[in-house]
Amino acid sequence: MKLIYEERDGILYFDGCDTVKLAKKYGTPLYVYSLTEIKNRIEELRKAFLDKYKNTRVAYAAKAFTSSAIFKLIDNEGLSLDVVSGGELYTAISVGFPAERIEFNGNNKLYEELVLAIEYGVGRIIVDGLEELDMIEEICQSYDKKIKVMYRITPGVNSDTHDYITTGKKDSKFGIPLDEEVFYPAVKNAIKSPFVEFYGLHFHVGSQLFDNESHLKALDILLSHIDEIRDRFAYEVKEINIGGGFGIKYTDEDRRPFEYFIDPSMKRINEHYSELNIERPNVVIEPGRSIVGEAGMTLYTIGSIKNIEGVRKYVSVDGGMTDNIRPALYQAKHNGMIANKMEMDRNDKVTVCGKCCESGDILIRDLDISKPEMGDILCVPSTGAYGYSMASNYNKNPIPAVVLAKDGEDSLIVRRQTYQDMLLNDIVPSWMD
């Protein structure tokens, strides 16, 4: 497989593009995505899952990186799309994403979001709370539509990841609890409802996982509840959704192949159903980070450098927590390199910080790097997931542009926000004049 990062004459190239030229052409901070890398990931998913097991689907978790162009790409690749808000759904609708391949997740779907989803006729609504079914039924009735619903369960398993991205433990805001007096009445309501088709069960246990154990534990719990649903209601579910969460490389870790998560899960599901002599339901996964995370990187221009003798050397860049909140939010680790000094020894140790008025606005601690100077271009790899999609206008910093690179060609897919853009919704009441 072709290398996405290459060095040519001391300059960093990304998917065949000179990153220093990209920084000049589009300005910094700049998100750059490698189309080749995204397509590689999708090919891996085809090989490990879609082509290997029948009746399977991959739903890209849009929240990792939402933009019209990436949605179009996901559609062209024939994948499904997992959205979690009216805004993500609206983006999908605006590029004509086929409704039947959209699934709607989220722990507090608003009435008007459900209206948008049902009006458009999304393929699945993944119910995540007890109040939701009533709203869905009411809207389906008024639009004369029947919608497929899945129930997201809280399997009560812990995952070995940062607490903020653990989502399957009992004490979680996500999912329907499996308590006898909560879960089965809710299932019964969905089965007997004339307005929805109860389609199956869903879980998502966490993000940036390197161990398949929480998936497998949650899967056992899910399968036992499907058995119980069959026994109690003589009802066979049609789909199992085992979420996403597959970990990627940021610094030293190595991404596990998709097979590591998928094969043991499929083995368990297939064995379970062949023992029962029942055709197994569809199986769906929802990877986000593992499709776009390593495919994206951020370019910054280095500005002020503050060397505190015997303490630390701070190197400031022209972005920070506004374009990558992950280090401040959950101590995420990143690598970094000076894109115009790739040949030089990395014998300086620095702390890369952003320009926001927060001491916590640190992007990388204790990074070994070649000697930084004002005007150098810093590349931070693996920012493709939860970077742009979590960006903010804090300190009224404009949200950076996004460029898609492929074999030396570059296309702008999100233009840089302007100062004027940021003021579009501001109003000075006339009585202040």
Ligand X SMILES: *Cc1c(COP(=O)(O)O)cnc(C)c1O
Residues in contact with ligand X by the rule CB under 6 A = 61, 63-64, 82, 105, 204, 207, 243-246, 286-290, 385
CB 369 to ligand X: min, Å: 28
CB 428 to ligand X: min, Å: 39
State how far the Cα of 385 lies from the Cα of 59, in Å rounded to an integer.
15
Residue (126 or 369) nearer to ligand X, CB: 126
Cα end-to-end span (Å), the chain: 63
Residue (77 or 348) nearer to ligand X, CB: 77
State how far the Cα of 319 lies from the Cα of 390, in Å rounded to an integer.
13
CB 81 to ligand X: min, Å: 11
Closest of 277, 156, 166 to residue 211, by C-alpha: 166
Residue (58 or 339) nearer to ligand X, CB: 58
Name the region of 121 (left: φ>0; alpha: ψ -120 to 50; beta: rest).
Answer: left
CB 411 to ligand X: min, Å: 24
Characterize 27-52 residue by residue with b for buried, 16 or more Cβ atoms within 10 angstroms of its Cβ, and e for exposed: ebbbbbbbbbbbebbbebbbebbbee
Q: How is residue 417 annotated by DSSP?
A: P
**Active-site residue, selected from the candidate residues 17, 353, 357, 379:** 357
Geometric angle at alpha carbon 238, from 227 and 178, rounded to 5°: 45
Tell me if residue 353 is catalytic: no
Q: Which pair of structure tokens corresponds to residue 205?
A: 């246990």
CB 245 to ligand X: min, Å: 4
Contacts of 290 (CB under 8 A, 6+ apart): 41, 244, 246, 247, 248, 255, 258
Geometric angle at alpha carbon 83, from 174 and 209, rounded to 5°: 55
Residue (64 or 237) nearer to ligand X, CB: 64
Residue (149 or 338) nearer to ligand X, CB: 149
Work out the burial of residue 419: count CB atoms within 10 Å of its CB; fewer than 13 is exposed, 13-18 middle, 19 or more buried: exposed
Amino acid at 179: D
Angle between helices 213-233 and 180-192 (to 10 degrees): 60
- What are the residues facing 348 on neighbouring strands? 369
Closest of 355, 365, 366 to residue 322, by C-alpha: 355
Residue (153 or 385) nearer to ligand X, CB: 385
State how far the Cα of 78 lies from the Cα of 42, in Å rounded to an integer.
10
| Torsional sign, CA 179, 182, 188, 194 | negative
Angle between helices 213-233 and 258-276 (to 10 degrees): 20
Residue (243 or 320) nearer to ligand X, CB: 243
Residue (103 or 318) nearer to ligand X, CB: 103
Supply the residues annotated as catalytic: 357
